[in-house]
Amino acid sequence: MVKVGIPRAMLYYQYYPMWQSFFRGLGAEVVVSGETNHTILVKGAARVVPDTCLPVKAFLGHVIALAAKCDYIFIPTVRSIQPKVYNCSKFLGLTDMTRMVIPESPPILDIEIDLNRGQRRLYRDIYRLGQRFTANPFKIKRAALAAWETHCLYRQLMAEHRQTPAEMMAVLFDGEKAPSPAPEPACARTLIALVGHPYLTNDRYLSHRLLERLRAAGCTVLTPEMLTGAQLKQGLEESIGQGYWTYEDEVVGAAGYYLQSGVDGIISLQAFGCGPDSLMTDTAQRQAKKLGTTPFLSLVVDEHTAESGLVTRLEAFLDMVHIRKRERQPLCR
């Protein structure tokens, strides 16, 4: 059986269930790299110039980890998924960069996703990708439709059950039961919105286990995946009107929505060396400042970030959040 490798990095957290469904529907076996660790990051970072952003370095490390384990590596080029909204240049060049800097990589399965070029072209490209596995057009169509349904279900369930991608994948693939989101009395727990790209916030190594640290500190953590597309769009429109970057809704849209919904604090996690993030986080931070109701913490990580420094900032921020919460709701002491 043909083995298709999928790196557990970059767009993995958004689209893995869809990709897995598609390739399995075509009769392929899907192999995923393990969680990011020091070795993966160091190996990836060694292939590129130092000012490459952290998630791309990690991504390359994942490709290296997969190289000997599969027949193909799947690296889609996602240019645009909305009219006149484009992705960061690092995404656009990811496939070519991988070919250049990891010559030992198995052949790369590439597909360009650019909705600005029309749906016909996208369907044609999906069909061409499917032809690498089967000559049966009906099988390709069935696999593509099943993949899209899987993606919609995945998104819907994450928002309904307030689950992270890892938690929802455990429900979808390992048969775990999705818990109902606990009704939160107004002052029962501290609500913290963690915004940022999924490949940072959901990567336990790159994020220094930020999500788990927040939960261990007694916070209920809300992430962009726990919002519906309509809610993200609403947050984006209320903050800046029209977005410019693909996935801007994960930062500006989520922060905008959570600011209005009355969370106790917002943490933005961004990668050092990321141009789009510096603009998006600044926009979200200004919005928070303008409203003046919600403490906002911006954390920037790279491969040299010291865990102790990050933890100190987090503890100081949570202290401030708790003080503000007690001032607003004295009975919550």
- Examine residue 274 and tell whether it contacts ligand SF4 (CB under 6 A): yes
Of the candidates 268, 329, 272, 330, the residue with the CA atom closest to the CA atom of residue 295: 268
Residue 326 backbone dihedrals phi, psi, to 5 degrees: -65, -35
Among the listed residues 248, 249, 264, 277, the single contact to ligand SF4 using CB under 6 A: 277
From candidates 91, 154, 257, 258, binder to ligand SF4 by CB under 6 A: 91
Radius of gyration for the alpha carbons in the chain, expressed in angstroms and rounded: 20
Helix residue ranges per DSSP H, the chain:
12-25, 38-45, 54-66, 89-92, 94-101, 119-130, 137-161, 165-174, 198-201, 210-216, 229-240, 252-261, 275-291, 307-328
58 versus 227: smaller Cβ distance to ligand SF4 = 58
Residue number with CB closer to ligand SF4 (51 or 174): 51
Closest to ligand SF4 by CB, 271 vs 321, is 271
| DSSP category for residue 224 | G
Closest to ligand SF4 by CB, 225 or 264: 225
CA distance 332 to 322: 10
Q: 129, 141 in Cβ contact below 8 A? A: no
For ligand SF4, the closer of residues 172 and 301 by Cβ is 301
* Sheet with 3-6: strands ordered across: 29-32, 3-6, 72-74, 108-109
Least Å from the CB of residue 270 to ligand SF4: 7
Task: Choose the binding region for ligand SF4 from 85-93, 132-140, 150-158, 212-220 (rule: CB under 6 A).
Answer: 85-93
- 82 contacts 89 by C-beta, under 8 angstroms: no
Nearest distance from residue 90's CB to ligand SF4, in Å?
A: 4
Q: How far apart are CA 280 and CA 196, in angstroms?
A: 9
- Binding ligand SF4 (rule: CB under 6 A), the pick from 8, 62, 162, 197 is 197
Choose, by CB under 6 A, the member of 43, 47, 62, 90 that binds ligand SF4: 90
Looking at 18, 88, 227, 269, which residue binds ligand SF4 (CB under 6 A)?
88
- Per CB under 6 A, the list member of 18, 40, 45, 56 interacting with ligand SF4 is 56
Tokens matching residue 120: 């016909």
CB of 164 to ligand SF4, least distance (A): 19
Contacting residue, 55, 165, 224, 235, with ligand SF4 by CB under 6 A: 55
Instruction: State how far Cα 214 lies from the chain centre.
Output: 18
Residue given tokens 């996690």 in the structure block: 269
When asked if residue 196 is in the footprint of ligand SF4 (CB under 6 A), the reply is no
Q: Residue 162 or residue 197: which is nearer to ligand SF4 going by CB?
A: 197
Is residue 53 involved in binding ligand SF4 (CB under 6 A)? yes
Backbone angles phi, psi at 181, to 5 degrees: -65, 125
Say whether residue 271 binds ligand SF4 (CB under 6 A). Answer: yes
Q: Give the range of 51-59, 63-71, 224-232, 261-269 binding ligand SF4 by CB under 6 A.
A: 51-59
Residue 13 interacts with ligand SF4 (CB under 6 A): yes or no: no
In degrees, rounded to 5, the angle at the alpha carbon of residue 232 between the alpha carbons of residues 293 and 185 is 50
Q: Tokens 């043909």 label which residue?
A: 2
By CB under 6 A, residue 250 contacts ligand SF4: no
Binding site for ligand SF4 (CB under 6 A): 53, 55-56, 88, 90-91, 197, 271, 274-277
